[in-house]
Amino acid sequence: MLSYRHAYHAGNYADVLKHLVLARTLEYMIRKDKGLLYLDTHAGAGGYRLGDAMAQKKAEYRDGIGRLWGDGKIEALAPLMQVLDGLNPDGRLAYYPGSPVIAAQLLRPQDRLRLFELHPSDRELLGRNFASDRRVRVEGSDGFASLKALLPPPSRRALVLIDPPYEQKEDYQRVVRAVLEGYRRFPAMTCLIWYPVVARPRIDEMARGLCRGGIRNLWQTELGLAPDSDGYGMTSSGLFMINPPWTLAEQLREALPELVERLAPEQGRWMLEQLVGE
């Protein structure tokens, strides 16, 4: 089943956390001259026009990036906001980049991007977005399998983003299996694994699976709009992070309380924890 379209959710609070972490991680990793492989297992369409019908249907961006646009007070958001400024030169927030566009904007000529997307409509849009970028290869195959196929890269440097829609319950464990396979092949990879908190036991099971799998330097962070609930819908957004930049933890400790204050001052919550040390 391929029904999920990220355009309905572009720029929401989950994107804010995910893209803050992604932009900061890329900013750190490109300080070394050697080329970097960016691997995106569920790339979506690449970028989204916020005036289009899908983005306007729920307009989730208004309570996400919309509340932060034009506000330079959260220092950790600076790399992401610089990308947004460049893509919205008239000062009006009309376009929100997905992870592939953010990566392409920050990466260099010597870096390479491998983008995977199974949804045919989003894959077509993704291909159009990068048709003239020789660094980028778009593929319509299973992104989970790419970790086994592409790791380790020749450069021995890789940033992997795993961001599935979790349409099926099995996706949670598919993520764990794919990550452990990639880690066995290339323990030095930096890996960012996004997840929605809809049912807390599923996230706890993911954490146990990653910890039992022998991963080192494993972190977990979350940004939530409300406490955990047995009801329908996502209450928090989170990331497991393997081998993140050593600077990232302090950046998140400063940024997350401010994001809660801006996005959910009454019931918001945040967390940052190292699950396994180096």
Q: Are 146 and 39 in contact (CB under 8 A)?
A: yes
Is 33 noted as a catalytic residue in this protein? no
Ramachandran quadrant class, 46 (left: phi over 0; alpha: psi -120 to 50; beta: rest):
left
**Distances from the Cα of 188 to the Cαs of 3, 86, 134, 154, 217, in angstroms?**
34, 32, 26, 13, 10
Contact in structure between 26 and 106 (CB atoms under 8 Å): yes
Helix then strand count (H, E) for the chain reads 9, 10
Instruction: Scan for tokens 């900013």, then name that residue.
Output: 27
Q: Which of 36, 23, 246, 43 is nearest to 159 (CA)?
A: 36
Q: Under a CB-based contact definition with an 8 Å cutoff, are residues 198 and 253 in contact?
A: no
Residues tagged in the binding site annotation for S-adenosyl-L-methionine: 19, 42, 99, 117, 142-143, 163
Q: Give 129: exposed, middle or buried? Use CB within 10 Å, 0-12, 13-18, 19+.
A: buried
What's the CA gap between 198 and 251, in Å, rounded? 26
Can you say which residues are annotated as belonging to the binding site? 19, 42, 99, 117, 142-143, 163
Q: From the candidates 15, 111, 122, 163, give the one annotated as an active-site residue.
A: 163
Token couple for 172: 């949670």
What is the SS3 assignment for 189? coil
Backbone angles phi, psi at 141, to 5 degrees: -120, 175
Instruction: State how far the Cα of 24 lies from the Cα of 66, in Å rounded to an integer.
Output: 20
Residues with a catalytic annotation lie at 163
